[in-house]
Amino acid sequence: MSVVIRLFQVADRQAVRKICADSADMGKPAERIFPDRELLADMMISYYTDFEPQSLWIAEVEGEVVGYLSGCLNSRRFLRVMIWRIAPGILFQALIRGIFLKKQVQRFLIAMLKSFKLGGFKRSIPFDKYPAHLHIDIREGFRGQGIGQGLMEKFFAQAKNAGIPGIYLTTRQDNTACRFFERTGFSIAARYPLVIPEGDNFQVIHSVLYVKEL
Ligand X SMILES: CC(C)(COP(=O)(O)OP(=O)(O)OC[C@H]1O[C@@H](n2cnc3c(N)ncnc32)[C@H](O)[C@@H]1OP(=O)(O)O)[C@@H](O)C(=O)NCCC(=O)NCCS
- Residues found near ligand X in the complex (CB under 6 A): 23, 26-27, 136-138, 143-149, 171, 175-177, 179-180, 183
Q: Closest residue to ligand X, Cβ-based?
A: 148
Exposure b/e, 51-90, CB count within 10 A at least 16 = b: bbbebbbbbbbeeebbbbbbbbbbbeebeebeeeebeeeb
| Smallest separation (angstroms) from ligand X to the CB of 5 | 11
| Smallest separation (angstroms) from ligand X to the CB of 157 | 16
Burial of 109 (0-12, 13-18, 19+ CB in 10 A): exposed
| Smallest separation (angstroms) from ligand X to the CB of 43 | 14
- Name the residue nearer to ligand X (CB basis): 19 or 39: 19
- Name the residue nearer to ligand X (CB basis): 69 or 99: 69
- Name the residue nearer to ligand X (CB basis): 131 or 148: 148
- Name the residue nearer to ligand X (CB basis): 102 or 143: 143
Whole-angstrom distance, CA of residue 96 vs CA of residue 90: 10
| Smallest separation (angstroms) from ligand X to the CB of 132 | 15
- Name the residue nearer to ligand X (CB basis): 73 or 151: 151
| Smallest separation (angstroms) from ligand X to the CB of 170 | 7
